[in-house]
A and B are shown apart, each in its own frame.
Chain A
Amino acid sequence: MSQPHRLACLLVPDLPLRAELRAHPELADVSFVVAAGSDARAEVIEASPAAYLAGVRAGGSVTHARAVSSDVRVQVMSLALERASRQALLDVALSFSPRAVLADRSYSAFSSEAAVLLDASGMKQLYESERHFASALAARSKALGLPGVVAIASSRTLARIAARRCANQADPLCIVPAGAESSFLAPLPIDLLDPDDKLAQQLTRFGVHFVRDLLRLPRRALAGRMGPDVLQLVAMARGETVEPPLPTPADSRLEEAIDLDYPADRSEPLLFVLRGLLSRLMERLELRHLASGPLDLRLDLEGGGRDVRQVGVVGATRDTRVLLRLLALTLETHPPGAPVEAVSVATEGLPERRDQLDLFRPRGPDPDSLDRTLTELESLCGSGRVGAPEVADDHRPDAFGLKPFEPHRVPRTPDLPASTETTALVVRALRPPVAAEVRVNRGLPIQVRSAVSSGDVIHVSGPWRTTGRWWSDTDRYALDHFDVQVSDGTVSRLCFDWQERRWRVDGLYD
């Protein structure tokens, strides 16, 4: 027997206020308002609980709010913060169900709300009841700094309407049982269906205040008098709306952003802001059991410029301290060209790393710890300068490779080689090679002068000739190598480059 289709709606009714409090938790007990702009005539969008108690209400101007309460603080509404909070709400939903979607924004009476819809079918198998599931969903959202209400019903529209109703009541949870939709909707005010302003005025003029009033009226006559838009409202009231199935979001890109109150021209305040952004980003990643990949840092600069950079992360991590250190390093190495007005940090969520330890090899560093080290070393020394050395498949004497350091993927080492009484002589490479002046007699060097080795040649061995890439005009090489011992005691590898017709020392035996 198939389970009834159930949908949950998690709704935050006062998003601009909650977004501010999420970014600035220190404002929790402060009397403040969120305004549409910074000037005195800007509209107050939301008032904090402390401001509300002082008599400040949304809808007025900043001047009015200050007249009511002189110590009220004004925060300018930030679209970046709101966007991040909406995405955070979606992350909460995705931590419960793989199918979730952000509800369309409302541009009328409910413009301040943010809602996410998620598939709640079969949740009774995981939770004692739908109410318990709704309670867990609300609690997780609250823990993320976004307290909201939860409603569960048999359709998206009904779940959202039920959530709107909850927002004005003491109980933040609402469960609409299957089959009880009509009786639930009938006594509700018509405003909860969110008609546009023109339709709302017409309905008021016709004396339609509740859903049951609308359902009593003949549908065809309504369309004739109020236009086709009202039919959509009637369909909503009857539960007849056609809804597509909930999608499974494929995008795991997460972003946190903030507009700064004052442009930051020093790294300390910027790092303070970045710490907050990263902390919130990591909370969201943790909800989805993901870790952070490379970070995309975007700095909006005073004067309209933009500084965009990517900070590499070797292994996926959720360690805020490490990521902050990486950002600090990049800002220290390349400071922004102008004071920063807005900051955004985005990352691609990657699966958390798992590693199976081996009984037959030394333990080695913890994979997470090693990843953090590699990331820090790479940001310290630069990309392509940290890794496992590799003998390149190339005949050029200076060829070498550097591959990612992944010791956990290296097969188990064979038994320890037996102790030996001899050690092979090795070469210290000189990168770049050191230019040398060489006196030659019968094709052999007899005197060398360079920054690393100077004097008369005592012994010489060679030439050892190497050529390659003869088909290429740019990469061809033809080299004569000599092993020489010079009177200053050094034994070096001297080279004559036939392409450039120059002598150089490209290694020292040591």
Chain B
Amino acid sequence: MSRESPSGAVRVRHSQEIESLLSDLGSRLQRGTGIREQPGRLPIGRPDVDRLLGGGFPLGGLSEISGASSSGRTSLSLALLANTTGRGELAGWVDTADAFDPPSAERLGVDLDRVLWVRAGTGPGRSAERALRATERLLQTEGFPLVLLDWTGNLPSPKVASWIRLARLTAATRSVLLLLSSERLAGSHAEMAVMMEPARARFTGTPALLEELEARMLLVRNRTAPIDPTASFDIRLSGVRPRRLSQPRPCRTSRESAA
């Protein structure tokens, strides 16, 4: 009869505990694979938002910000643009809606000299195809850590193959391709997806001024880490007044002549 040594018994017990732990973790843990290198991140520059995103949007991946009008999706995208250009990096903005507003971007701290604005939505011909080709070209040009594709115009959703192609192109780079859209378009081809929901607008004072816009931000997809589907984050976007408040009122005679 063989006797088990005390150290052997401990080893067996530890092994059983590990097996039990592994079975509890289930599909969250992959066995037999090597250590997966965490991709670099492109932070937005707001600690609370970056925490929710795990440090920022993953480099080498297609990410998506979607939401309805006035949900703060553009403010969030421009914040990312400001933080990227603030570090001296270049960024491309492929604009299918021709909606980029340089004064707003400048007010948010975007270094406009480092932004390549591609107004793909204007001009004759098929702007959707043009925007996709322009995005591809920007991704192929090394040196743009952020390429933003604004797909909020009235364009039809491109074929799934387009997202597959863009995701593959992005994976071969050290860039973030950020898709800005009204509804989720890239589906499972996105590394990370954020949904924005408008909450409320606050008008205060007399006369009333647009003080801030509140929105809810939900991380709905993250390929590299588990997400809590119920977790949301309220984001406040401080209001801006028109630039030219001090402009003189139109004189009576000019209004009458205009009329």
A residues bordering B, Cβ < 8 Å? Answer: 333, 361-366, 369-370, 372-374, 376-377, 380-382, 385-392, 395, 397, 400-402, 405-407, 410, 412-413, 416-417, 419-431, 452-453, 459-462, 464-467, 470, 476, 478, 481, 483, 485, 489-492, 498-499, 501, 507-510
Contacts and interface: CB of A to CB of B under 8 A. Distances in A.
Given A377-B134, A413-B86, A369 B259 contact: no
Nearest to B109: A417
Contacts, number: 257
5 contacts: A364-B90, A416-B86, A424-B237, A426-B240, A485-B201
B73 A465 contact: no
Contact of B255 (A377, A381, A427, A478): A478
Given A419-B47, A478-B250, A362 B210 contact: no
Given A382-B122, A431-B122, A510-B71, 16 more contacts: A369-B141, A376-B137, A377-B116, A386-B116, A407-B90, A417-B45, A420-B45, A423-B238, A424-B75, A427-B101, A428-B152, A430-B99, A459-B208, A465-B247, A467-B254, A489-B68
Contact of B142 (A366, A428, A466): A366
6 closest cross-chain pairs (CB), A and B: A365-B143, A426-B104, A413-B88, A510-B74, A425-B237, A389-B102
Nearest to A422: B238
B120 A387 contact: no
B163 interface: no
A465 B69 CA distance: 25
Contact of B254 (A421, A423, A470, A483): A470
Contacts of A397: 242
A333 to B, nearest CB: 7
Nearest to B150: A428
A461 B203 contact: yes
B183 interface: no
Contacts of A417: 45, 82-83, 86, 109
A263 B48 CA distance: 66
B76 interface: yes
A404 B173 CA distance: 25
Given A426-B74, A461-B209, A466-B244, A370 B143 contact: yes
Contacts of A376: 137
Interface in B36-51: 45-48
Interface in B68-109: 68-76, 78-79, 82-83, 85-90, 97-109
Contacts of B102: 389-392, 400-401
B31 interface: no
B213 A416 contact: no
B164 interface: no
B176 to A, nearest CB: 15
Interface string B235-246: 111111110110
Nearest to B235: A423
A381 B90 contact: no
A412 B87 CA distance: 10
B102 to A, nearest CB: 4
Given A431-B99, A491-B201, A498-B255, A425 B213 contact: yes
Given A362-B88, A391-B106, A429-B101, A413 B111 contact: yes
B100 A429 contact: yes
B116 to A, nearest CB: 5
Interface in B102-140: 102-109, 111-120, 122-123, 125, 130, 133-134, 137-138, 140
Given A426-B104, A501-B259, A419 B46 contact: yes
B228 to A, nearest CB: 22
B258 interface: yes
Contacts of B255: 478, 498
A290 to B, nearest CB: 24
Nearest to A376: B137
